[in-house]
Chains A and B, each alone.
Chain A
Amino acid sequence: MVLALYPAAAFAWLMTQFGSVSGGEVISSSWDWVPTMGISLSFHLDGLSMLFALLITGIGALVLTYAGTYMKGMPKTDRFFMSLVLFMASMLGLVLSDNIISLFIFWELTSFSSYFLIGYHHEDKESRKSALEALLITAGGGLALLAGLILLGIGGGSMEMSQLVQRGDELAESGLFTAAMLLIIIGCFTKSAQFPFHFWLPSAMAAPTPVSAYLHSATMVKAGVYLLARVSPVFNGADGWHALLLIFGGITMVLGALIAVMQTDLKKILAYTTVSALGLLVMLLGIGTGIAIKAAVIFILAHALYKGCLFLIAGIVDHETGSRNIRKLGRLFKQMPVTGTAAVVACLSMAGIPPLFGFISKEYSYESTIGMVVNSPLTTSAFFITGMLFVAAAGMLSYMVFFGRRNKLDIKPHEAPITMLAGPAVLAVLSIVLGVFSGLINPLLDQASQVVFPENEPLNLKLWHGINTELILSMTTLVAGIAAFAFVYYNPRLMSMIEISDKIKPSYAYKQTMDSLAELAKNVTQRVQNGYLRVYISMMVGTFCVLALIVLKDFGIPNIEVLWSDFRVYDIVIGVLMIVACFYTVVAKSRLLAIAMLGVVGYGVAFVFIIFGAPDLAMTQILIETLTVVLFVLVLWKLPHYLIFDEGFIKFRYFLVSALFGAIMTWIVMLITSYPLDSHLKTWFAESSYPLGMGRNVVNVILVDFRSLDTLGEIVVLGIAAVGIYGLIKFTTEDDKEEAI
């Protein structure tokens, strides 16, 4: 409840700017974020942003007030409100951002917060599934959008939207035009639930009703429409832009409306009519004429007003009666007069009946399609069918719930508290006020349409245009709609019999994709993560070899000039001895022989250290070698038979891998030693050891003085190993204890 003050304050501030923005001014401010990449937090308040910002904050305040009562007594409300406010802020950021990267970030934030909100009832499997579905589809589309926006930025040579909209020609020349357009369209279609991505929106009705009212009717789903409108000065007139928006918008519009009248759940009816309305908006943007843009801007407002109101009413009905099934509800008007009145007003607006704001919007929509140059009859009839179904849906939402047949409820419903009524009441009143006094909102909508369609003719909202084609069409729609509603009303059986096969729904394709992805991940994991250590190791070694060869192929093999004069006899003896011992360690059939040979190799290493001036190393090596061999023999004499590979083929394969690895290491060592070494550390230690460390054995001085912390670390490692060994030896399982008893 108190939270509602924040959006209310923002709304109030926006209202103070109303005059100047409506006058065509643009308010902007900017902070650098990652200036090297052209990313900044720059905000830009023009007519279009203002329209959306007012909707977000205004409806936001109403929804928060409403949710305060609605969510009372439910668990985790703190988390819920946090997500809701986070969403509100992100959505506001989205419509105000001028920088395309920060716009994208806000865009993604709305997806995330919406994920938390849809998944509010996370104990419910269906709820989790819906949330994930919405997230994957909108965030997946978000990736396309990001790519599209970056292409747009590169092609247009700017990261600021306000610059980009003026650089359509530059973008067209850069050759990135079509790619950017397609990617942005995909992103917007997923967000605004256009066919074939529309199915996430009805699923998202798993969210608490205030969320549906806010995110899934008034704000978030309109983000896609907003962005399409925002970039339409760039793409308007381009090949494909109109066709794509018209076709997909049209399909979404008709399909959504058709499915809507087949539903019985209040929220599902609302969800599908929302899908349909979004299709209508996309289609209007696709028509792209000045009048169509005006119609779109008007419809954005009209739809937000009546649909937000209806969602809130659906929530009230659900809250007070415990049911959302329109077959069970009926004759609620007496018990809930205020809710009923608001519902009737909103439905009248939805059906497009004068003097409500929805009527004006419908008139403009018809005007824009009649004025179309191509395919006017087709789009006009699509609008007609949708309009008719909207009337039917409006009838279902108001008449069947508040009048009509006697309800089949077990409890006696009563009116909701004032905090819950405030939202729908305000929105319903606005639908009337803006319808009658359309001059109030005229300047803002005019500005918004100017942003989307520069140099659009001034908008002049009027309720009464005289008797013209639009009005006749509108009235015919109304009559047909009432007939359609009567059909639905008197044939409930028939409607419930219609079932669409799951397999042709896009949601089926989504499910199939998700299932096969999970299956693929499992298969890959089983193959890669198969539990065989030797497979892991050969993969690592193999990868290393391939990468090393790629780098090394440029170097060639260094010359080896063996100076035989430099050789001592014992060098050769030791070298040969080590190789032979190593070979026997590898092939030994008995464990003891292998360990003994290992010892020989170790002592050989010690001799190499002795020869090349490292007596300390040699001493350590000899000590440790002895210890290791002793330990091995002590611990291992009771182990089972020494394992050897059976299959010669596998053996040979591993031999190849290890031989290749050895050869590459030889090559690397030779390469490194063939380049001159420049070490000032060598001379520094040579000169400083005695004066600074007071020691003549420089290696010792380094270990205990210059790098004493390293040595401390080494001691700690040994200590940990010792503790581990002690733990292992003392470790007994339950079985051991039982045996002991």
Chain B
Amino acid sequence: MEDVLPFLIGGLYAGGVYLVLHKSFVKLIIGLIILGYASNLMLFTISRITRGAPALVPEGAEALVEPYADPLPQALVLTAIVIGFGIQAFAIVLIKVGYRIVATDNLDDLNTTDRLDD
């Protein structure tokens, strides 16, 4: 599956970017979440993957026994997943509150502060 993972990652990236480019706030967040998956998988893949060998030290041994998965990228990805969740949760609630106040889900209606006065 190692050879197919790059295509899977590319597909996820493409889908994520495509969604982010939409006008809808909800699609923007779904796109961001997919981009998050893609990035996590990419980090996981580029540090080489090992099939079915978790980084667990067997009973009675002092160190990991080959073959074993690289534990470092796993730790990094784990942190990324958790932080990603924090952002997702915040963004989801933001849509909710934003909608209550401005009554729109359309990002094009939310650009007034960025516009110069003519």
Contacts and interface: CB of A to CB of B under 8 A. Distances in A.
Given A691-B62, A733-B101, A658 B21 contact: yes
Nearest to B54: A613
A696 B57 contact: yes
Contacts of B59: 696
A666 interface: yes
Contacts of B45: 669, 673
Given A534-B107, A640-B99, A696-B57, A582 B34 contact: yes
Q: Would you call the interface of chain B mostly helix, strand, loop, or mixed?
A: helix
B78 A616 contact: yes
Q: In the complex, which range does the number of interface residues on chain A fall in?
A: 35 or more
Contact of B17 (A571, A601, A658): A658
A614 B23 contact: no
Interface string A622-643: 0010011001100110011011
B79 A665 contact: no
B30 A721 contact: no
Given A533-B111, A702-B71, A710 B93 contact: no
Given A635-B93, A636-B95, A707-B75, A598 B30 contact: yes
Given A529-B114, A661-B13, A717-B86, A617 B77 contact: yes
A531 B115 contact: yes
A495 interface: no
B93 A728 contact: yes
B92 A721 contact: no
Contacts of A551: none
A628 B88 contact: yes
Contacts of B1: 566-568, 571, 575, 608, 611
Interface string B21-49: 11110111010011001101110111111
A663 B116 CA distance: 36
Contacts of B56: 696-698
A643 to B, nearest CB: 4
Contacts of A563: 3
A591 interface: yes
Contact of B44 (A538, A614, A696): A614
B12 to A, nearest CB: 6
Contacts of A682: 70-72
A612 interface: yes
A145 B18 CA distance: 50
A602 interface: yes
Among A534, A695, A699, A711, which residue has the most Cβ atoms of chain B within 10 A? Answer: A699
A595 interface: yes
Contacts of A567: 1
Interface in A509-560: 522, 525-526, 529-534, 537-538, 541, 560
Top 8 A-B pairs, shortest CB-CB distance? A662-B14, A531-B111, A666-B10, A531-B114, A613-B69, A721-B86, A686-B64, A643-B24
10 contacts: A614-B74, A666-B6, A669-B10, A679-B72, A685-B71, A697-B55, A698-B64, A699-B71, A699-B75, A707-B75
